[in-house]
A = this chain, B = another copy of it.
């Protein structure tokens, strides 16, 4: 969710994994490729508020397809662990639960974009949407309005629907998800993920 501490957690996890000798690639969506960074600009630009829901869905799908081909598949082929900031669930939560596009359509589009790639573990950083938006606003004030995005502009009701979407998605695939309380301290969150990884993938450590 917005302001849940995704980047901080990913950067801590990457350090912890690397300190254990695990080669780790860090990437994000939208973005992660030269195409993706162009699309990220279009997708998150507050001036692009006239972008229609289906256009938005297809831009995220294009970003994902290219990201998988250019970044994720090559990293996995080199036996690296990939930490990705947002993935398919974000599309289902924002464009499906948030914007109201049918989950069946999203699933078909996403399956073609993913081309067989599924995360081994998805970490859901859950927190009250108001708290997340408060954090985003405070970060925006600190760094200037440039970090404000089309998603931050949405009304709280939209972010509540997104949160409910994430919770529904994780309830539907409990084995793939680890739900954490994003109000916990960053170092505690990182430790909780590490414990889960050691439990699930002992052969890696």
Q: State the A residues within 8 Å of B (CB).
A: 35, 38, 42, 48, 50-52, 54-59, 61-63, 65-66, 69-70, 105, 108-109, 112-113, 115
| Chain B residues within an 8 Å CB radius of A105 | 112
A112 contact from B54, B65, B113, Cβ within 8 A: B54
A52 contact from B38, B52, B57, B65, Cβ within 8 A: B65
How many of these chains are in the complex? 2
Q: How far is the CB of A71 from chain B (nearest CB, A)?
A: 11
Interchain residue pairs with CB less than 8 A apart (9):
A35-B55, A54-B115, A55-B69, A56-B62, A57-B65, A58-B61, A59-B62, A62-B62, A109-B109
Q: How far is the CB of A205 from chain B (nearest CB, A)?
A: 33
A contact face: mostly helix, strand, loop, or mixed: helix
Asked whether, in the complex, the Cβ of A113 is within 8 Å of the Cβ of B58, the reply is yes
Asked whether, in the complex, the Cβ of B70 is within 8 Å of the Cβ of A62, the reply is no
Q: How far is the CB of A164 from chain B (nearest CB, A)?
A: 24
| Chain B residues within an 8 Å CB radius of A62 | 54-59, 62
Cα of A35 to Cα of B112 in the assembled complex, Å: 23
| Chain B residues within an 8 Å CB radius of A108 | 108
Cα of A115 to Cα of B52 in the assembled complex, Å: 12
Asked whether, in the complex, the Cβ of B58 is within 8 Å of the Cβ of A70, the reply is no
Cα of A112 to Cα of B52 in the assembled complex, Å: 12
Asked whether, in the complex, the Cβ of B65 is within 8 Å of the Cβ of A58, the reply is yes
Asked whether, in the complex, the Cβ of B66 is within 8 Å of the Cβ of A55, the reply is yes
| Chain B residues within an 8 Å CB radius of A42 | 35, 38
Asked whether, in the complex, the Cβ of A70 is within 8 Å of the Cβ of B52, the reply is yes
Q: Which residue of B lies closest to A108 (CB)?
A: B108
Asked whether, in the complex, the Cβ of A51 is within 8 Å of the Cβ of B38, the reply is no
Counting chain B CB atoms within 10 Å of each CB, which of A58, A105, A112 scores highest? A58
| Chain B residues within an 8 Å CB radius of A54 | 62, 65, 69, 112-113, 115
Asked whether, in the complex, the Cβ of B59 is within 8 Å of the Cβ of A58, the reply is yes
Cα of A51 to Cα of B109 in the assembled complex, Å: 18
